[in-house]
């Protein structure tokens, strides 16, 4: 295993823009890497690309995935710099490094450095970030269903974290419409911006529990025409999350009620469902979780169990064994100052190799369940 070669590949991938819904160029690059190694490859209707690694035995398979997309618009400067033991640049950890790891694993298998007991499907999938609504992983899970022994989802950062619980997420777009007018001549006519701002303040005032942890965020607010125009339209994107599906349902109901109450003569407020990430989990005692913990400890890394919103949400919501794990340390994800630490990557890849070698020990558990 050459971490320098892996990092060089991650840098190449980071330089390919891949905003959600526009991952095609990066997907082609991934497929070219696998084709060059002589692997069978294919693409599905969503834009996911796949490669098949043949193991020593037929039977149960494993899906190893990493998402192609980033949160950054296509015109974002993809400047990259190395600062001692860090590589800094938008998307380098989320998720260029994990995509590079899919190629590294394929190279290790084809060159005889990693032996698999069974087949592994590599999946570079679209639509994990933002309003992608996990559409790529939905297609992956639709394709393989409950056939895989495990779904292993890779992220570039968060080494030591094991996401075995899927955080429930509900997203809405709230739009306010009014007649609008001139800020002086028509003063007193309702403003869509004012109406929507009042509604957001009401939403913000909702008493949300600390346990189960629950959140509400108006992440985008747009509208209006000019500084001296009473805004005829405004909208906000709302993100709701909770560790409890029941609490998320309660919060969604409150949003619907408050939106309904915001409607009055001259003011129309509508609610649109723009995304939903289902919850689910496998217990901490599940053999897949325990195996991941064991492989981390062998590398001198203390494992930590988490709940999160990742591609693993989809298989977990369907009752399939799945975890999401990281490959190195890093921080500032979703900013242009995002960085990864290079030194822990050797441990992270050793952990991943060990997990792939030993995941087949779960076969007996799967057959007896």
pLDDT of 250 > 80? The answer is yes
pLDDT confidence band for 366 (50 / 70 / 90): very low
Condensed to tens digits (0 to 9), the pLDDT of residues 68-79 reads 999 999 999 999
189/299 same-domain check: no
What residue spans of 50-93 are helical by DSSP H? none
182/261 same-domain check: yes
285/258 same-domain check: no
pLDDT score at 58: 77
Condensed to tens digits (0 to 9), the pLDDT of residues 91-144 reads 999 999 999 999 999 999 999 999 999 999 999 999 999 999 999 999 999 999
246/287 same-domain check: no
Q: Helix, strand, coil % (nearest 5) of the chain?
A: 35, 30, 35
- Please give the C-alpha separations between residue 195 and each of 92, 155, 230, 234, 251, in angstroms, as whole numbers: 40, 40, 11, 9, 21
Per the structure, the count of domains in the chain is: 2
298/188 same-domain check: no
pLDDT score at 365: 53
CA 17/CA 337 separation, integer angstroms: 16
pLDDT of 173 > 60? The answer is yes
pLDDT score at 367: 40
236/341 same-domain check: no
29/145 same-domain check: yes
pLDDT score at 368: 35
Last residue of a domain, one of 277, 300, 323: 277
Q: Looking at residues 55-61, what average pLDDT do you find?
A: 87
pLDDT of 369 > 90? The answer is no
CA 82-85-89 angle, 5° bins: 40
pLDDT score at 134: 98
Residue 273: which domain range? 174-277
143/9 same-domain check: yes
Average confidence score pLDDT of the chain: 96
By percentage, how much of the chain surpasses pLDDT 70? 98
Q: What is the CATH number of the domain that holds 321?
A: 3.40.630.10
pLDDT of 183 > 90? The answer is yes
244/132 same-domain check: no
pLDDT score at 286: 98
Q: Looking at residues 306-317, what average pLDDT do you find?
A: 97
Last residue of a domain, one of 217, 242, 277: 277
pLDDT of 251 > 50? The answer is yes
pLDDT score at 182: 98
229/324 same-domain check: no
pLDDT score at 289: 98
Q: Looking at residues 353-366, what average pLDDT do you find?
A: 86
Instruction: Give me the DSSP letters along 162-176.
Output: EEEEEPEEEEEEEEE
Last residue of a domain, one of 277, 312, 333: 277
217/290 same-domain check: no
Q: Are 80 and 14 in contact (CB under 8 A)?
A: yes
Q: What is the CATH number of the domain that holds 219?
A: 3.30.70.360
Q: Determine if the peptide bond prior to 212 is cis (ω within 30°).
A: yes
Helix (H) or strand (E) holding 340: strand 339-341
């Amino acid at each position: 295993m050459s971490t320098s070669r892996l990092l060089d590949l991650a840098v190449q991938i980071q330089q390919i823009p891949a905003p959600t819904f526009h991952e095609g160029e990066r997907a082609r690059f991934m497929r070219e890497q696998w084709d060059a190694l002589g692997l069978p490859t294919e693409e599905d209707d969503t834009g996911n690309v796949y490669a098949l690694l043949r193991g020593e035995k037929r039977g149960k398979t494993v899906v190893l995935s990493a998402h192609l997309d980033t949160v950054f618009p296509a015109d974002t400067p993809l400047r990259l710099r190395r600062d001692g033991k860090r590589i800094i640049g938008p998307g380098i950890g989320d998720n260029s490094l994990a995509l590079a790891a899919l190629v590294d694993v394929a190279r290790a298998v084809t060159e005889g450095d990693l032996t698999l007991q069974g087949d592994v499907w590599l999946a570079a999938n679209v639509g994990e970030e933002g309003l992608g609504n996990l559409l790529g992983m939905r297609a992956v899970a639709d394709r393989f269903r409950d056939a895989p022994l495990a779904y292993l989802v890779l992220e570039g950062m968060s080494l030591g974290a094991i996401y075995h619980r899927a955080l429930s997420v509900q997203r809405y777009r709230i739009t306010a419409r009014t007649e609008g007018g001139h800020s002086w001549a028509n003063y007193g006519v309702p403003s869509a911006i004012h109406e929507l701002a009042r509604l957001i303040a009401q939403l913000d005032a909702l008493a949300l529990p600390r346990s189960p942890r629950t959140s509400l965020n108006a992440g985008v607010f747009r509208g209006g025409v000019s500084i001296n125009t009473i805004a005829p339209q405004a909208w906000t994107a709302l993100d709701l999350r909770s560790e409890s599906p029941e609490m998320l349902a309660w919060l969604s109901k409150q949003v619907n009620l408050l939106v309904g109450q915001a409607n009055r003569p001259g003011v129309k407020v509508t609610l649109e469902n723009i995304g939903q990430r289902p919850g689910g989990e496998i217990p901490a005692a599940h053999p897949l979780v325990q195996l991941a913990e064991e492989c981390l400890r062998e590398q001198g890394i203390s494992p930590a169990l988490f709940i999160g919103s990742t591609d693993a949400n989809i298989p977990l919501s369907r009752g399939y064994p799945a975890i999401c794990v990281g490959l190195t340390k890093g921080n500032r994800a979703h900013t242009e100052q995002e960085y990864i630490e290079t030194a822990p990557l050797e441990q992270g890849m050793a952990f991943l190799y060990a997990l792939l070698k030993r995941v087949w020990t779960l076969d007996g558990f799967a057959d007896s369940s």
